[in-house]
A and B are shown apart, each in its own frame.
Chain A
Amino acid sequence: MTKININLISGRTIQQGVSMEAGKEKENYMTSCGLIELDQADIHQLGIMKNTNVRVTSKFGSVIVKAILATQGPHPGLGWIPMGPWANMLVDSNTYSTGTPTFKGTAVTVEPAENEHVLSSIDLVLKSCNDV
Protein backbone atom coordinates (compact mmCIF):
# COMPACT_ATOMS: atom_id res chain seq x y z
CA MET A 1 0.00 0.00 0.00
CA THR A 2 1.23 3.51 -0.75
CA LYS A 3 2.78 5.42 2.10
CA ILE A 4 4.09 8.95 1.95
CA ASN A 5 6.60 10.66 4.22
CA ILE A 6 5.82 14.24 5.13
CA ASN A 7 6.60 16.88 7.73
CA LEU A 8 3.80 17.58 10.21
CA ILE A 9 2.82 20.80 11.95
CA SER A 10 -0.18 21.68 14.10
CA GLY A 11 -1.80 24.82 15.43
CA ARG A 12 -5.04 26.65 15.87
CA THR A 13 -7.90 26.90 13.42
CA ILE A 14 -11.02 28.90 14.05
CA GLN A 15 -13.09 25.71 13.87
CA GLN A 16 -10.78 24.19 16.49
CA GLY A 17 -11.45 27.18 18.78
CA VAL A 18 -15.20 27.26 18.28
CA SER A 19 -15.73 23.49 18.62
CA MET A 20 -13.44 23.34 21.65
CA GLU A 21 -15.49 26.01 23.44
CA ALA A 22 -18.71 24.20 22.54
CA GLY A 23 -17.43 21.05 24.29
CA LYS A 24 -14.47 18.78 23.68
CA GLU A 25 -16.65 15.72 24.27
CA LYS A 26 -18.89 16.68 21.34
CA GLU A 27 -18.70 15.29 17.84
CA ASN A 28 -17.98 18.68 16.33
CA TYR A 29 -14.61 18.83 18.12
CA MET A 30 -13.67 15.51 16.56
CA THR A 31 -14.74 16.54 13.06
CA SER A 32 -12.91 19.88 13.45
CA CYS A 33 -9.63 18.51 14.81
CA GLY A 34 -9.47 14.78 14.00
CA LEU A 35 -8.23 15.51 10.53
CA ILE A 36 -5.08 16.04 8.51
CA GLU A 37 -4.90 18.71 5.86
CA LEU A 38 -2.82 17.45 2.98
CA ASP A 39 -1.59 19.25 -0.09
CA GLN A 40 -3.20 18.27 -3.39
CA ALA A 41 0.13 16.86 -4.60
CA ASP A 42 0.47 14.66 -1.49
CA ILE A 43 -3.12 13.37 -1.74
CA HIS A 44 -2.38 12.50 -5.36
CA GLN A 45 0.81 10.70 -4.43
CA LEU A 46 -0.98 8.80 -1.70
CA GLY A 47 -3.52 7.64 -4.25
CA ILE A 48 -6.59 8.33 -2.10
CA MET A 49 -9.79 10.29 -2.50
CA LYS A 50 -10.05 13.30 -0.24
CA ASN A 51 -12.12 12.87 2.91
CA THR A 52 -10.97 9.29 3.52
CA ASN A 53 -9.44 8.13 6.76
CA VAL A 54 -5.68 7.67 6.99
CA ARG A 55 -3.22 6.42 9.57
CA VAL A 56 -0.54 8.93 10.48
CA THR A 57 2.50 7.52 12.26
CA SER A 58 5.57 9.11 13.79
CA LYS A 59 8.40 7.78 15.95
CA PHE A 60 6.24 8.69 18.95
CA GLY A 61 2.81 7.32 18.12
CA SER A 62 0.08 6.74 15.61
CA VAL A 63 -3.45 8.08 15.02
CA ILE A 64 -6.36 7.69 12.62
CA VAL A 65 -7.63 10.97 11.16
CA LYS A 66 -9.58 12.04 8.12
CA ALA A 67 -7.46 13.34 5.22
CA ILE A 68 -8.86 16.53 3.73
CA LEU A 69 -7.54 18.89 1.09
CA ALA A 70 -5.45 21.72 2.59
CA THR A 71 -7.65 24.72 3.29
CA GLN A 72 -4.66 27.05 3.56
CA GLY A 73 -2.24 25.88 0.90
CA PRO A 74 -0.46 24.95 -1.27
CA HIS A 75 2.29 23.44 0.88
CA PRO A 76 3.54 20.21 -0.69
CA GLY A 77 5.37 17.95 1.76
CA LEU A 78 3.72 19.56 4.77
CA GLY A 79 0.79 18.05 6.70
CA TRP A 80 -1.40 19.96 9.15
CA ILE A 81 -3.44 18.58 12.06
CA PRO A 82 -5.25 21.20 14.18
CA MET A 83 -3.96 21.40 17.75
CA GLY A 84 -5.61 18.85 20.01
CA PRO A 85 -5.30 15.22 21.13
CA TRP A 86 -5.11 13.83 17.57
CA ALA A 87 -2.03 15.89 16.69
CA ASN A 88 -0.56 15.16 20.11
CA MET A 89 -0.55 11.40 19.48
CA LEU A 90 2.39 12.08 17.17
CA VAL A 91 4.41 14.77 18.93
CA ASP A 92 7.91 14.44 20.38
CA SER A 93 7.78 15.17 24.14
CA ASN A 94 11.43 16.23 24.10
CA THR A 95 11.71 19.89 25.09
CA TYR A 96 15.45 20.27 24.45
CA SER A 97 15.76 22.09 27.80
CA THR A 98 13.13 24.71 27.05
CA GLY A 99 10.07 23.12 28.69
CA THR A 100 8.23 23.20 25.35
CA PRO A 101 7.79 19.91 23.47
CA THR A 102 8.57 19.98 19.75
CA PHE A 103 5.02 20.39 18.45
CA LYS A 104 6.05 21.44 14.95
CA GLY A 105 8.26 19.64 12.48
CA THR A 106 7.42 15.99 13.21
CA ALA A 107 8.44 13.47 10.53
CA VAL A 108 5.39 11.30 9.81
CA THR A 109 4.21 8.68 7.36
CA VAL A 110 0.66 8.74 6.04
CA GLU A 111 -1.10 5.64 4.70
CA PRO A 112 -4.70 4.93 3.71
CA ALA A 113 -6.92 3.43 6.43
CA GLU A 114 -10.41 3.62 4.93
CA ASN A 115 -11.83 1.00 7.26
CA GLU A 116 -10.61 2.54 10.50
CA HIS A 117 -12.54 5.06 12.61
CA VAL A 118 -11.56 8.42 13.97
CA LEU A 119 -12.04 8.32 17.74
CA SER A 120 -13.59 11.10 19.84
CA SER A 121 -11.16 13.16 21.92
CA ILE A 122 -12.17 11.46 25.17
CA ASP A 123 -12.09 7.92 23.74
CA LEU A 124 -8.76 8.56 22.04
CA VAL A 125 -7.06 9.80 25.22
CA LEU A 126 -8.64 7.17 27.50
CA LYS A 127 -7.78 4.36 25.09
CA SER A 128 -4.15 5.48 24.69
CA CYS A 129 -3.72 5.90 28.43
CA ASN A 130 -5.20 2.50 29.25
CA ASP A 131 -3.35 0.68 26.46
CA VAL A 132 0.03 1.29 28.08
Chain B
Amino acid sequence: MSKRLTDIICPFCGTLCDDIEIDVSDDGKQILEVYNACAIGSEKFLHVQSPDRITRPRMKQEDGSWNEITYDEAAKYTAKVLCDAKKPLMYGWSSTSCEAQSIGHMIGEQVGGVLDNTATVCHGSTLIAMQDVGIPSCTLGEVKNRADRIIFWGCNPAHAHPRHMSRYSIYSRGYFTGKGSKSRKIIVVDPRPTDSASLADEYIQVEQGRDYELLDAFRAALKGSPLPKMIAGVPSEKIYELVEILKQGRFVVIFFGMGVTHSLGKNHNIDMAIALTSDLNNYTKASIIAMRGHYNVTGSGQVLGWQFGFPFCVDLSRGFARYNPGETSSNDLLMRGEVDGCLVIGSDPGSHFPIGSVKKINAIPTVCVDPHMTPTAAISKCHVPVALVGIEVGGSCYRMDNVPIDSRKVVDPPEGMLTDAEFLDLVLKEVNKIKGDAK
Protein backbone atom coordinates (compact mmCIF):
# COMPACT_ATOMS: atom_id res chain seq x y z
CA MET B 1 0.00 0.00 0.00
CA SER B 2 1.07 3.57 -0.52
CA LYS B 3 -0.34 7.00 0.16
CA ARG B 4 -0.34 10.01 -2.14
CA LEU B 5 0.92 13.33 -0.77
CA THR B 6 -0.22 16.38 -2.74
CA ASP B 7 0.81 20.06 -3.00
CA ILE B 8 4.45 19.28 -2.31
CA ILE B 9 7.06 21.97 -3.11
CA CYS B 10 10.02 21.06 -5.31
CA PRO B 11 13.20 22.29 -3.63
CA PHE B 12 15.48 22.59 -6.62
CA CYS B 13 15.05 25.75 -8.69
CA GLY B 14 13.57 29.20 -8.11
CA THR B 15 10.33 28.21 -9.85
CA LEU B 16 9.48 26.38 -6.60
CA CYS B 17 6.72 24.30 -8.24
CA ASP B 18 4.04 23.73 -5.61
CA ASP B 19 1.98 21.05 -7.31
CA ILE B 20 4.23 18.02 -6.90
CA GLU B 21 2.51 14.77 -5.92
CA ILE B 22 4.43 11.96 -4.31
CA ASP B 23 3.55 8.37 -3.46
CA VAL B 24 5.19 7.28 -0.24
CA SER B 25 5.18 3.89 1.42
CA ASP B 26 2.65 3.30 4.17
CA ASP B 27 5.21 3.76 6.93
CA GLY B 28 6.12 7.16 5.42
CA LYS B 29 9.76 6.16 5.01
CA GLN B 30 10.15 5.62 1.28
CA ILE B 31 9.38 7.66 -1.82
CA LEU B 32 7.84 5.39 -4.44
CA GLU B 33 6.89 7.72 -7.26
CA VAL B 34 7.16 11.45 -8.01
CA TYR B 35 4.53 13.11 -10.20
CA ASN B 36 4.48 16.50 -11.98
CA ALA B 37 8.14 17.39 -11.28
CA CYS B 38 10.61 17.89 -14.12
CA ALA B 39 13.55 15.51 -14.60
CA ILE B 40 15.78 17.51 -12.24
CA GLY B 41 13.12 17.84 -9.53
CA SER B 42 12.30 14.11 -9.68
CA GLU B 43 15.98 13.22 -9.36
CA LYS B 44 16.30 15.48 -6.33
CA PHE B 45 13.43 13.70 -4.55
CA LEU B 46 14.54 10.21 -5.52
CA HIS B 47 18.19 10.71 -4.63
CA VAL B 48 17.40 10.98 -0.90
CA GLN B 49 17.08 7.22 -0.77
CA SER B 50 20.30 6.49 -2.59
CA PRO B 51 21.88 3.51 -0.80
CA ASP B 52 25.35 5.09 -0.65
CA ARG B 53 24.12 8.21 1.14
CA ILE B 54 26.45 9.57 3.82
CA THR B 55 24.52 9.76 7.09
CA ARG B 56 27.06 10.74 9.75
CA PRO B 57 29.49 13.67 10.16
CA ARG B 58 33.12 12.90 9.40
CA MET B 59 36.56 14.46 9.74
CA LYS B 60 39.26 14.24 7.13
CA GLN B 61 42.43 12.45 8.24
CA GLU B 62 46.02 13.24 7.26
CA ASP B 63 45.95 10.58 4.53
CA GLY B 64 42.75 11.98 3.02
CA SER B 65 40.46 9.26 4.40
CA TRP B 66 37.41 10.08 6.52
CA ASN B 67 36.77 9.28 10.16
CA GLU B 68 33.18 9.22 11.44
CA ILE B 69 32.37 11.56 14.34
CA THR B 70 29.19 12.56 16.22
CA TYR B 71 27.10 15.66 15.50
CA ASP B 72 28.22 17.06 18.87
CA GLU B 73 31.87 16.68 17.92
CA ALA B 74 31.17 18.24 14.52
CA ALA B 75 29.39 21.17 16.18
CA LYS B 76 32.31 21.69 18.58
CA TYR B 77 34.81 21.66 15.71
CA THR B 78 32.69 24.06 13.61
CA ALA B 79 32.32 26.47 16.54
CA LYS B 80 36.07 26.37 17.13
CA VAL B 81 36.86 27.05 13.45
CA LEU B 82 34.48 30.01 13.42
CA CYS B 83 35.64 31.43 16.78
CA ASP B 84 39.35 30.96 16.05
CA ALA B 85 39.09 32.78 12.72
CA LYS B 86 39.59 36.53 12.55
CA LYS B 87 37.21 36.76 9.61
CA PRO B 88 35.26 33.56 8.96
CA LEU B 89 33.34 33.20 5.72
CA MET B 90 29.88 31.68 6.14
CA TYR B 91 28.81 30.93 2.61
CA GLY B 92 25.83 29.32 0.89
CA TRP B 93 22.37 29.41 2.54
CA SER B 94 20.48 28.95 -0.73
CA SER B 95 19.43 25.29 -0.41
CA THR B 96 18.16 25.59 3.11
CA SER B 97 15.18 27.12 4.89
CA CYS B 98 14.79 30.70 6.11
CA GLU B 99 14.59 29.28 9.65
CA ALA B 100 18.05 27.69 9.34
CA GLN B 101 19.39 30.89 7.77
CA SER B 102 18.29 32.96 10.74
CA ILE B 103 20.11 30.65 13.19
CA GLY B 104 23.20 30.88 10.99
CA HIS B 105 22.97 34.66 11.12
CA MET B 106 22.99 34.57 14.93
CA ILE B 107 26.22 32.57 14.74
CA GLY B 108 27.56 35.10 12.21
CA GLU B 109 26.88 37.95 14.64
CA GLN B 110 28.63 36.13 17.48
CA VAL B 111 31.76 35.24 15.53
CA GLY B 112 32.00 38.41 13.40
CA GLY B 113 31.66 36.47 10.16
CA VAL B 114 30.90 37.36 6.57
CA LEU B 115 27.49 36.05 5.50
CA ASP B 116 27.26 35.55 1.76
CA ASN B 117 24.85 33.53 -0.35
CA THR B 118 24.98 32.03 -3.83
CA ALA B 119 23.64 35.26 -5.36
CA THR B 120 27.29 36.25 -5.20
CA VAL B 121 27.97 33.99 -8.21
CA CYS B 122 24.53 34.33 -9.75
CA HIS B 123 22.13 37.28 -9.48
CA GLY B 124 24.30 39.41 -7.17
CA SER B 125 24.72 41.92 -9.97
CA THR B 126 20.92 42.00 -10.29
CA LEU B 127 20.64 42.91 -6.61
CA ILE B 128 23.16 45.72 -7.14
CA ALA B 129 21.17 47.00 -10.13
CA MET B 130 17.94 46.86 -8.12
CA GLN B 131 19.51 48.98 -5.42
CA ASP B 132 20.80 51.42 -8.04
CA VAL B 133 17.70 51.95 -10.14
CA GLY B 134 14.76 50.13 -8.48
CA ILE B 135 12.74 47.41 -10.19
CA PRO B 136 9.24 47.30 -11.69
CA SER B 137 8.25 43.71 -10.98
CA CYS B 138 5.29 41.41 -10.42
CA THR B 139 4.51 37.87 -9.33
CA LEU B 140 4.53 34.76 -11.49
CA GLY B 141 0.77 34.54 -10.92
CA GLU B 142 0.37 37.87 -12.71
CA VAL B 143 2.58 36.59 -15.53
CA LYS B 144 0.40 33.53 -15.91
CA ASN B 145 -2.86 35.48 -15.90
CA ARG B 146 -1.92 38.64 -17.76
CA ALA B 147 1.34 38.59 -19.70
CA ASP B 148 1.03 38.43 -23.48
CA ARG B 149 4.61 39.43 -24.38
CA ILE B 150 7.40 37.41 -22.80
CA ILE B 151 11.12 38.06 -23.31
CA PHE B 152 13.72 35.54 -22.14
CA TRP B 153 17.00 37.46 -22.15
CA GLY B 154 20.18 35.48 -21.51
CA CYS B 155 18.33 32.60 -19.88
CA ASN B 156 17.39 29.13 -21.01
CA PRO B 157 14.40 27.95 -18.97
CA ALA B 158 14.04 24.78 -21.05
CA HIS B 159 17.20 23.58 -19.27
CA ALA B 160 17.47 25.60 -16.06
CA HIS B 161 13.83 26.05 -15.00
CA PRO B 162 12.11 23.29 -16.98
CA ARG B 163 8.52 23.85 -15.80
CA HIS B 164 8.62 27.67 -15.77
CA MET B 165 7.24 27.82 -19.29
CA SER B 166 4.38 25.41 -18.74
CA ARG B 167 3.37 26.77 -15.34
CA TYR B 168 3.77 30.51 -15.85
CA SER B 169 5.31 31.97 -18.94
CA ILE B 170 4.43 30.29 -22.25
CA TYR B 171 1.86 27.52 -22.17
CA SER B 172 -0.14 28.22 -19.02
CA ARG B 173 -3.74 29.38 -19.47
CA GLY B 174 -4.65 32.19 -17.12
CA TYR B 175 -7.62 34.49 -16.56
CA PHE B 176 -6.75 36.85 -19.44
CA THR B 177 -4.51 34.42 -21.31
CA GLY B 178 -7.01 31.63 -21.92
CA LYS B 179 -5.40 30.53 -25.15
CA GLY B 180 -2.09 29.70 -23.50
CA SER B 181 0.84 30.01 -25.88
CA LYS B 182 -1.48 31.28 -28.65
CA SER B 183 -2.24 34.36 -26.59
CA ARG B 184 1.44 35.17 -26.12
CA LYS B 185 4.38 36.30 -28.22
CA ILE B 186 7.68 34.86 -27.02
CA ILE B 187 11.01 36.53 -27.74
CA VAL B 188 14.36 34.89 -26.85
CA VAL B 189 17.63 36.84 -26.84
CA ASP B 190 20.74 34.68 -26.45
CA PRO B 191 24.12 34.15 -28.14
CA ARG B 192 23.13 30.50 -28.67
CA PRO B 193 19.97 29.29 -30.42
CA THR B 194 18.91 27.39 -27.31
CA ASP B 195 16.11 24.88 -26.82
CA SER B 196 14.12 27.77 -25.30
CA ALA B 197 14.76 29.78 -28.49
CA SER B 198 13.25 26.97 -30.53
CA LEU B 199 9.95 27.54 -28.68
CA ALA B 200 9.96 31.29 -29.34
CA ASP B 201 8.17 33.35 -31.97
CA GLU B 202 11.28 35.47 -32.38
CA TYR B 203 14.89 34.54 -31.68
CA ILE B 204 17.63 37.17 -31.61
CA GLN B 205 21.25 35.95 -31.69
CA VAL B 206 23.06 38.68 -29.77
CA GLU B 207 26.85 38.71 -29.85
CA GLN B 208 28.08 37.38 -26.49
CA GLY B 209 28.80 40.16 -24.00
CA ARG B 210 27.03 42.90 -25.98
CA ASP B 211 23.69 42.84 -24.20
CA TYR B 212 24.08 46.37 -22.88
CA GLU B 213 24.37 47.73 -26.39
CA LEU B 214 21.37 45.79 -27.62
CA LEU B 215 19.21 46.77 -24.65
CA ASP B 216 20.19 50.38 -25.22
CA ALA B 217 19.22 50.03 -28.88
CA PHE B 218 15.79 48.72 -27.84
CA ARG B 219 15.35 51.82 -25.71
CA ALA B 220 16.42 54.10 -28.55
CA ALA B 221 14.09 52.34 -30.99
CA LEU B 222 11.24 52.65 -28.50
CA LYS B 223 11.76 56.42 -28.53
CA GLY B 224 11.85 56.43 -32.35
CA SER B 225 15.54 57.37 -32.53
CA PRO B 226 17.67 56.37 -35.54
CA LEU B 227 19.96 53.33 -35.14
CA PRO B 228 23.04 52.10 -37.01
CA LYS B 229 22.40 49.17 -39.38
CA MET B 230 23.73 46.47 -37.06
CA ILE B 231 23.84 46.48 -33.28
CA ALA B 232 25.49 43.61 -31.35
CA GLY B 233 25.01 41.38 -34.40
CA VAL B 234 21.32 42.27 -34.81
CA PRO B 235 19.94 44.26 -37.78
CA SER B 236 18.19 47.48 -36.72
CA GLU B 237 15.02 46.61 -38.68
CA LYS B 238 14.60 43.60 -36.42
CA ILE B 239 14.89 45.79 -33.34
CA TYR B 240 12.25 48.25 -34.64
CA GLU B 241 10.00 45.30 -35.50
CA LEU B 242 10.33 43.79 -32.02
CA VAL B 243 9.72 47.10 -30.32
CA GLU B 244 6.41 47.34 -32.22
CA ILE B 245 5.45 43.85 -31.05
CA LEU B 246 6.18 44.89 -27.45
CA LYS B 247 4.27 48.17 -27.69
CA GLN B 248 1.22 46.35 -28.96
CA GLY B 249 1.20 43.99 -26.00
CA ARG B 250 -1.04 44.41 -22.96
CA PHE B 251 1.59 43.21 -20.50
CA VAL B 252 5.27 42.67 -21.25
CA VAL B 253 7.47 40.62 -18.90
CA ILE B 254 11.24 40.38 -19.27
CA PHE B 255 12.86 37.32 -17.66
CA PHE B 256 16.64 37.45 -17.55
CA GLY B 257 19.40 35.14 -16.39
CA MET B 258 23.10 34.48 -16.18
CA GLY B 259 23.64 35.59 -19.79
CA VAL B 260 23.49 39.16 -18.56
CA THR B 261 24.69 38.82 -14.95
CA HIS B 262 27.82 36.80 -15.83
CA SER B 263 28.95 38.80 -18.88
CA LEU B 264 31.07 41.91 -18.58
CA GLY B 265 28.97 44.93 -17.78
CA LYS B 266 27.17 42.81 -15.17
CA ASN B 267 24.97 45.10 -13.02
CA HIS B 268 25.01 47.75 -15.76
CA ASN B 269 23.45 45.29 -18.21
CA ILE B 270 20.61 44.89 -15.74
CA ASP B 271 20.35 48.65 -15.13
CA MET B 272 19.66 48.92 -18.85
CA ALA B 273 17.15 46.04 -18.87
CA ILE B 274 15.29 47.67 -15.98
CA ALA B 275 15.38 51.04 -17.75
CA LEU B 276 13.89 49.38 -20.86
CA THR B 277 11.12 47.89 -18.70
CA SER B 278 10.42 51.25 -17.18
CA ASP B 279 10.38 52.92 -20.64
CA LEU B 280 7.93 50.30 -21.89
CA ASN B 281 5.55 51.43 -19.17
CA ASN B 282 5.03 54.63 -21.17
CA TYR B 283 3.23 52.52 -23.78
CA THR B 284 1.87 49.47 -21.98
CA LYS B 285 2.40 47.60 -18.71
CA ALA B 286 5.80 45.96 -18.26
CA SER B 287 7.63 44.07 -15.51
CA ILE B 288 10.96 42.35 -15.13
CA ILE B 289 11.88 39.22 -13.12
CA ALA B 290 15.25 37.59 -12.44
CA MET B 291 15.38 33.83 -13.14
CA ARG B 292 16.73 32.81 -9.74
CA GLY B 293 18.47 29.44 -9.56
CA HIS B 294 18.62 27.80 -6.11
CA TYR B 295 15.15 27.31 -4.68
CA ASN B 296 15.75 29.54 -1.66
CA VAL B 297 18.48 31.97 -2.73
CA THR B 298 15.75 34.62 -2.82
CA GLY B 299 14.85 33.69 0.77
CA SER B 300 18.44 34.13 1.90
CA GLY B 301 18.44 37.63 0.43
CA GLN B 302 15.15 38.34 2.19
CA VAL B 303 16.30 37.14 5.61
CA LEU B 304 19.64 38.96 5.35
CA GLY B 305 17.69 42.00 4.22
CA TRP B 306 15.34 42.00 7.23
CA GLN B 307 18.13 41.37 9.68
CA PHE B 308 21.03 43.44 8.36
CA GLY B 309 19.65 45.60 5.55
CA PHE B 310 21.61 43.99 2.70
CA PRO B 311 20.77 40.95 0.54
CA PHE B 312 24.19 39.26 0.21
CA CYS B 313 27.88 39.61 1.17
CA VAL B 314 27.13 41.06 4.61
CA ASP B 315 30.34 41.58 6.61
CA LEU B 316 29.80 41.51 10.39
CA SER B 317 33.49 41.39 11.30
CA ARG B 318 33.50 44.93 12.68
CA GLY B 319 30.50 44.32 14.91
CA PHE B 320 28.01 46.02 12.58
CA ALA B 321 26.78 45.16 9.09
CA ARG B 322 28.88 46.34 6.15
CA TYR B 323 28.10 45.61 2.50
CA ASN B 324 30.36 46.33 -0.41
CA PRO B 325 30.28 43.82 -3.29
CA GLY B 326 33.81 43.47 -4.63
CA GLU B 327 35.16 43.87 -1.12
CA THR B 328 32.93 41.85 1.22
CA SER B 329 31.95 39.21 -1.38
CA SER B 330 33.19 35.60 -1.15
CA ASN B 331 35.35 35.39 -4.26
CA ASP B 332 37.04 38.72 -3.59
CA LEU B 333 37.70 37.82 0.06
CA LEU B 334 39.09 34.44 -0.94
CA MET B 335 41.26 35.74 -3.75
CA ARG B 336 42.73 38.38 -1.45
CA GLY B 337 43.32 35.73 1.24
CA GLU B 338 41.27 37.69 3.78
CA VAL B 339 39.29 34.84 5.31
CA ASP B 340 40.80 32.29 7.62
CA GLY B 341 37.97 29.88 8.35
CA CYS B 342 34.94 28.80 6.37
CA LEU B 343 31.50 27.28 6.85
CA VAL B 344 29.73 26.19 3.68
CA ILE B 345 26.05 25.29 3.87
CA GLY B 346 23.40 24.71 1.22
CA SER B 347 25.72 25.25 -1.75
CA ASP B 348 28.80 23.88 -3.51
CA PRO B 349 31.49 26.49 -4.16
CA GLY B 350 33.95 23.67 -4.89
CA SER B 351 32.05 23.09 -8.13
CA HIS B 352 30.76 26.57 -8.81
CA PHE B 353 33.53 29.02 -7.88
CA PRO B 354 36.49 29.66 -10.20
CA ILE B 355 39.30 27.26 -9.28
CA GLY B 356 41.44 30.15 -7.96
CA SER B 357 38.90 30.68 -5.17
CA VAL B 358 38.42 26.94 -4.59
CA LYS B 359 42.16 26.58 -3.88
CA LYS B 360 41.84 29.21 -1.15
CA ILE B 361 38.94 27.32 0.48
CA ASN B 362 41.12 24.20 0.42
CA ALA B 363 43.89 26.05 2.24
CA ILE B 364 41.81 27.15 5.26
CA PRO B 365 39.84 25.09 7.81
CA THR B 366 36.47 24.52 6.17
CA VAL B 367 33.32 22.77 7.38
CA CYS B 368 30.87 21.67 4.70
CA VAL B 369 27.25 21.07 5.69
CA ASP B 370 25.75 19.17 2.77
CA PRO B 371 23.65 16.02 2.40
CA HIS B 372 25.82 14.84 -0.50
CA MET B 373 29.41 14.19 -1.47
CA THR B 374 30.55 17.21 -3.47
CA PRO B 375 33.87 18.76 -4.49
CA THR B 376 33.37 21.19 -1.55
CA ALA B 377 33.02 18.26 0.85
CA ALA B 378 36.16 16.76 -0.69
CA ILE B 379 38.28 19.83 0.11
CA SER B 380 36.76 20.40 3.58
CA LYS B 381 38.23 19.27 6.87
CA CYS B 382 34.83 18.32 8.24
CA HIS B 383 31.75 17.14 6.31
CA VAL B 384 28.36 17.25 8.03
CA PRO B 385 25.53 15.54 6.16
CA VAL B 386 22.05 16.78 7.07
CA ALA B 387 18.41 16.07 6.21
CA LEU B 388 17.19 17.64 2.97
CA VAL B 389 14.97 20.69 3.41
CA GLY B 390 11.74 20.36 1.43
CA ILE B 391 11.96 16.56 1.46
CA GLU B 392 12.90 15.39 4.95
CA VAL B 393 12.00 18.55 6.86
CA GLY B 394 9.74 21.51 6.05
CA GLY B 395 10.65 25.20 6.16
CA SER B 396 10.01 28.56 4.53
CA CYS B 397 11.39 29.36 1.07
CA TYR B 398 11.02 32.28 -1.33
CA ARG B 399 10.19 31.78 -5.01
CA MET B 400 12.05 33.78 -7.67
CA ASP B 401 9.31 36.45 -7.61
CA ASN B 402 9.76 36.95 -3.84
CA VAL B 403 6.63 35.01 -2.89
CA PRO B 404 7.21 32.99 0.32
CA ILE B 405 6.05 29.38 0.21
CA ASP B 406 6.19 26.79 2.98
CA SER B 407 7.95 23.64 1.88
CA ARG B 408 6.70 20.34 3.28
CA LYS B 409 8.21 17.23 4.70
CA VAL B 410 7.70 14.13 2.55
CA VAL B 411 9.64 11.34 4.29
CA ASP B 412 11.71 10.86 7.42
CA PRO B 413 15.46 11.43 7.18
CA PRO B 414 17.71 8.42 7.87
CA GLU B 415 17.72 7.49 11.56
CA GLY B 416 19.68 9.87 13.79
CA MET B 417 20.27 12.48 11.11
CA LEU B 418 19.95 16.16 12.05
CA THR B 419 18.49 18.99 9.98
CA ASP B 420 20.44 22.15 9.06
CA ALA B 421 18.59 24.10 11.74
CA GLU B 422 19.24 21.49 14.44
CA PHE B 423 22.94 21.31 13.59
CA LEU B 424 23.30 25.10 13.50
CA ASP B 425 21.57 25.26 16.87
CA LEU B 426 24.25 22.97 18.31
CA VAL B 427 26.96 25.15 16.76
CA LEU B 428 25.36 28.31 18.17
CA LYS B 429 25.35 26.79 21.68
CA GLU B 430 29.03 25.89 21.36
CA VAL B 431 29.87 29.36 20.02
CA ASN B 432 28.04 30.92 22.96
CA LYS B 433 30.03 28.72 25.34
CA ILE B 434 33.33 29.78 23.77
CA LYS B 435 32.33 33.43 23.70
CA GLY B 436 31.40 33.16 27.36
CA ASP B 437 27.86 34.43 27.23
CA ALA B 438 25.94 31.17 27.35
CA LYS B 439 22.46 31.79 28.63
Residues of A within 8 A of B (CB): 7, 9, 11-14, 16-18, 20-25, 60-61, 70, 72-75, 78, 80, 83-85, 88-89, 91-93, 95-105, 121-122, 124-126, 128-130, 132
Contacts and interface: CB of A to CB of B under 8 A. Distances in A.
B189 to A, nearest CB: 14
B50 A80 contact: no
A101 B121 contact: yes
Interface of B: 12-13, 38-40, 43-44, 47, 50, 52, 116, 120-122, 124-125, 128, 156, 158-160, 162, 191-195, 197, 205, 208-209, 257-259, 261-264, 266-267, 293, 312-313, 325-327, 329-332, 335, 348, 350-359, 362-363, 372-375, 378-379
Nearest to B357: A93
B174 to A, nearest CB: 26
Contacts of A105: 208-209, 262-264
B374 A24 contact: yes
Contact of B125 (A72, A73, A100): A100
B262 A102 contact: yes
By CB atoms of chain A within 10 A, which of B158, B159, B327 has the most? B159
Given A99-B124, A99-B331, A75 B192 contact: yes
Contact of A100 (B122, B374, B378): B122
Nearest to A104: B262
B358 A88 contact: yes
Contacts of A104: 208-209, 258-259, 262-263
A59 B350 CA distance: 20
A89 B375 CA distance: 13
B195 A18 contact: no
A23 B47 contact: yes
8 contacts: A13-B159, A14-B158, A17-B43, A21-B40, A98-B128, A102-B263, A128-B355, A129-B379
A11 B160 CA distance: 9
Nearest to B205: A75
Nearest to A85: B351
A14 B313 contact: no
Nearest to A9: B208
B390 to A, nearest CB: 13
A88 B351 contact: yes
A22 B47 contact: yes
Given A11-B160, A103-B258, 6 more contacts: A21-B44, A21-B47, A61-B356, A93-B356, A100-B120, A101-B354
The 4 A-B residue pairs with the shortest CB-CB distance, nearest first, are A99-B329, A97-B326, A99-B325, A17-B40
Nearest to A86: B351
Contacts of B12: 17, 21
Contact of B266 (A73, A92, A100, A125): A100
A78 B325 contact: no
Contacts of B331: 93, 95, 99-101
A129 B258 CA distance: 27
B355 A61 contact: yes
A84 B258 contact: no
A132 B363 CA distance: 10
A95 B125 CA distance: 10
A99 B324 CA distance: 9
Contacts of B47: 21-23
Contact of A83 (B208, B209, B335, B352): B352
Contacts of A17: 12-13, 39-40, 43, 159-160
B90 to A, nearest CB: 15
B159 A14 contact: yes
A30 B232 CA distance: 34
